[in-house]
Structure 1
């Protein structure tokens, strides 16, 4: 066999080897589906879907039916905040003792709502005059005198009587414009502008 023939045989063997390699690579990918994915790729996608958590992903018949269930962030914190708020309100109600002295608007309003009268640190106008009281006396607050409701800005009812009480936070060199006005049947209002407007608290 001459050199030329050997060279031809080697070329044929090399080409045959290349053909075997290319054919093997094609067989590894396998046939494709209508979407252009090979069977191996489709199989891998199916395995990933099966491995997904059952409680977070629900699949329909088509990929378009897949949706994820989730709980909004902060839901637990919001629920806990509401429970804390309810607990705080209950604590505020139970912490107001009938024998206690109270000065803040909301505390005094709640006290009237709970017990039906002003705290003991409130004195009427006549009692204030007898004591020589002034707004600088931080131990006592003026309240308990009748309020006539002559302008009719508050709800009227036969037999209903209103009373007024100062809010110490409004005190300067005089009694200030802030008042609580409450009725003998449970209504409680707040005015910040000396009876011009009212906000109902209870």
Structure 2
């Protein structure tokens, strides 16, 4: 197994990333790369899937895959249960990081910054366009808590369905969005012989500074 892992490698030759084809700020480049990923990546890869890393009160890191649900010039938005493990971690330390990986394009984007809650109006607007099952699930699931078995979860969902049998569920107060406000965004383009292109944008006194990093 160890040797098999050591022998696993792939040479990246699809594209390059130079300063000449990169804008002075990162959001335009992210949008272009994201559009490329939507057009190129095939299931089971989801273009808006990203790994979110957080840190708990003891300084221990945690990460999981989530779906990006909003993007504007303020930052990158995702939604969750505020009482979940990640919600508690963000309450203890608001700093977080995201990583997008698009294997077909041989591209990766790393984003670091501070996570802040979106407004209740933003959370409600997204909640209302979710499928009914997802809206009910936000009420039914005590996310990240230990439960006895699958039957308990299904029982909680059934009780929630009965509760809202005559009305549409509203957005729970314990559920909503976070916006990761970036302080650093790195674009990684795979290149041959592991000499990858890495363009890093860092926020310096409200202005973006672009710089090349060694692979």
TM-score category of the 2 structures, normalised to the smaller one: under 0.3
Which of the pair has more CA radius of gyration? 1
Greater share of helix: 1
Higher relative contact order, structure no. (Cα contacts within 8 Å, ≥ 6 residues apart): 2
